[in-house]
Structure 1
């Protein structure tokens, strides 16, 4: 974009920079936490954190989709007493949001999963721990006040998922999220370009060594391991990168609705299917005995050029009605993103990268700050569009950019 096309700048002035310092109170948006993460993390870690599959079209679409929806504000509405508190899977929460499952969080800082859980518990929202997490499920479960969810990958023999479900029950896990769209690993080219045989290239390793703050807080005890599944990995393949490759090779390509039925029979708690997008799959879920679905693309890291959750959210709401919980993930960076998703029919949203930026920027405090920013932006946004409660937030507060364009064309003709 040319300088004169930037609406708030002229000739490159005023110069603008994101805050990258350590005082979290001076962060004014998720973008500040992201900027600090980019300052602190080495290149190969950032490629893992940020990258998408192939041309990254799905990754780009996850953000672009929000820009196609514009608010239609109402004025002269009393918004002096408003709240974004709402139940999440039937339990009260300060906002309808949960932290999405992410793997290899020990790559961002030692104890990353526990720090995410601590930030979530402090704020009062659920944290979903992933199968590929680096802290033991039992250790995370001890975080005071935590609403503990568990994400389940199906790989290897049945004894693996059955043991993970048994442990989840023992830990008091509230909800089980079964990921359905990661059986074939996405072609994440940029992540692969900083690796040789599954390990960082010499250049990437040198860059990592230069990031002393990251190295001393993350690798002081060596590379992390996949603590919850490492006992299932052959002993000769338990090094960090080799174990990740082995688990990827064992992902069950035959995963089907029959597997979901067996998991439903075994797990008596809340069961969510994560990663659905096709209307027929959403309809099938209604008869699968699950408690909800979470629309999403796995953060744009699996199939490229696919639709994203926001593209199908209205249709999904029409299909499920009030028969099950409808969650969605993908691209949440602003509180107003959450408002748009809720207005289009989501019961709650999942956020992954936003809270990971907080983790990289400031550990558990950074996670809490990310949640605080999203909450406060959403609360302010409600007031600005004339909505004082989530009960009043619906499709009527939004207009799609394409419909505005069509209307202008009709008027001009």
Structure 2
């Protein structure tokens, strides 16, 4: 599918399947276990119906807002995504540059294939850095210090990576570290010569944030490194210690419970990131949009709230903001675009989101992001009301 015929984020999803080997597209699209939560994220967003208004002056619609005191042109940011390099050698820098031109924020993954410093160079005022608490406290401290030295102003703590789950699509393809795909995958990969050429000649696939003997960690080394450094004991004490040492903004990602959200604010979080990893980690939990109202109620305006999971249309962004989110985030749509056409395609993906979001604002009769609230829903007695979740 040529770029000019792409008019939606779903078009990028379909186009990326033609660009990527099946084992890679399944890695991108797949979720944990039976993928119940993966499907629920989109389904529950689609369940919410918007209320069309008529004869309202919507000639001047302002899509801008602020996050942690910074102006952005659209209440949509890029979720942290590891291993973007396997989709396109442009990787994190390409998505970050597109985010800068869209006037928004790129969150650099703790599991990225590119170093924090490399991406910071192309998005110095538009980058938040995700981090994890490693078993080796010195490793955690080194990364925080690197972020500080690079000029990062906002850290995003991965708060829900102590446990893990299996993604059966990946297991069927033998996507361990190092990968051991079945013979059929070799044949399928051979039908994607452009991807193979990029893999052979482009950016080497590493975990760019971590080093062994001064060089980036190779993919083949990641399993053993993770087994040695994964910290299943990380807890609120670690977060509180980080808060005392980090003078910038602090966001915690992976909050799916109102009690945890309130605790995070008590411990000094500036932002609550409602996320279930797009259904990739823990299956059979609620969709993010379903838990958002209760978290908004628990936080009670003491911190900003962000949400990802199933954001595929501009009206999804409008729904999330109307339910109390400061901004929404998307991951897979930008990865689909990156795989399809690199940086230019990611830039177009932002344009699609912006146009759809602006259209949704016009139909619900709101000319400012700050005016989006529960009145935009067809039935305000629906689960859009926070009290339902208390």
Smaller-chain TM-score range?
Answer: over 0.9
Look up the match of 2:324.
Answer: 345
Structure 1 residues 273 and 197: alpha-carbon distance in aligned structure 2, compared to 1, 3 A threshold? closer
Look up the match of 1:69.
Answer: 48
CA RMSD of aligned residues (A): 2.1
- Could you say what secondary structure the match of 2:61 adopts? coil
Within 2, Cα distance between the matches of 1:130 and 1:351?
Answer: 13
Whether 2:291 is the aligned partner of 1:323: answer: no
Whether 2:188 is the aligned partner of 1:217: answer: no
Look up the match of 1:95.
Answer: 74
Look up the match of 2:387.
Answer: none
Within 1, Cα distance between the matches of 2:259 and 2:359?
Answer: 37
How many angstroms does 1:274 deviate by? 0.2
Look up the match of 2:182.
Answer: 201
How many angstroms does 1:239 deviate by? 4.1
Find 1:141's aligned residue among 112, 120, 126: 120
Within 1, Cα distance between the matches of 2:300 and 2:169?
Answer: 40
Does the Cα contact within 8 Å between 2:311 and 2:330 map onto a contact in 1?
Answer: yes
Look up the match of 1:408.
Answer: none
Normalising by structure 2, report the TM-score. 0.92
How many angstroms does 1:109 deviate by? 1.4
Whether 2:250 is the aligned partner of 1:271: answer: yes
How many angstroms does 1:176 deviate by? 0.6
How many angstroms does 1:180 deviate by? 1.1
Whether 2:142 is the aligned partner of 1:163: answer: yes
Look up the match of 1:407.
Answer: none
Does the Cα contact within 8 Å between 2:85 and 2:203 map onto a contact in 1?
Answer: no
Within 2, Cα distance between the matches of 1:394 and 1:206?
Answer: 51
Within 2, Cα distance between the matches of 1:144 and 1:105?
Answer: 17
- Which digits, 9 at most, give the CA deviation of each residue in 1:347-393, with x for residues without a partner? 01111111111111111111111111111100011111211112221
Does the Cα contact within 8 Å between 2:96 and 2:123 map onto a contact in 1?
Answer: no
Q: How does 1:368-383 map to 2 (within 5 A)?
A: 368-383=347-362
Does the Cα contact within 8 Å between 1:98 and 1:348 map onto a contact in 2?
Answer: yes
Look up the match of 1:179.
Answer: 158
Look up the match of 2:373.
Answer: 394
Q: How does 1:49-64 map to 2 (within 5 A)?
A: 49-64=28-43
How many angstroms does 1:27 deviate by? 1.7
Query: Structure 1 regions of 5+ residues with no counterpart?
Result: 1-19, 405-413
Does the Cα contact within 8 Å between 1:88 and 1:97 map onto a contact in 2?
Answer: no
How many angstroms does 1:153 deviate by? 1.9
Within 2, Cα distance between the matches of 1:305 and 1:169?
Answer: 37
- Which digits, 9 at most, give the CA deviation of each residue in 1:282-315, with x for residues without a partner? 1111210110110010110111000122001111
Look up the match of 2:334.
Answer: 355
How many angstroms does 1:196 deviate by? 6.5
Does the Cα contact within 8 Å between 1:332 and 1:351 map onto a contact in 2?
Answer: yes
Structure 1 residues 120 and 109: alpha-carbon distance in aligned structure 2, compared to 1, 3 A threshold? same
Look up the match of 1:8.
Answer: none
Structure 1 residues 212 and 82: alpha-carbon distance in aligned structure 2, compared to 1, 3 A threshold? same
How many angstroms does 1:219 deviate by? 3.0
Within 1, Cα distance between the matches of 2:348 and 2:334?
Answer: 9
Within 1, Cα distance between the matches of 2:200 and 2:42?
Answer: 33
Look up the match of 1:231.
Answer: 212
- Could you say what secondary structure the match of 1:229 adopts? strand
Matched positions, count: 381
How many angstroms does 1:211 deviate by? 0.9
Within 1, Cα distance between the matches of 2:289 and 2:257?
Answer: 12
The structure whose Rg is larger is 1
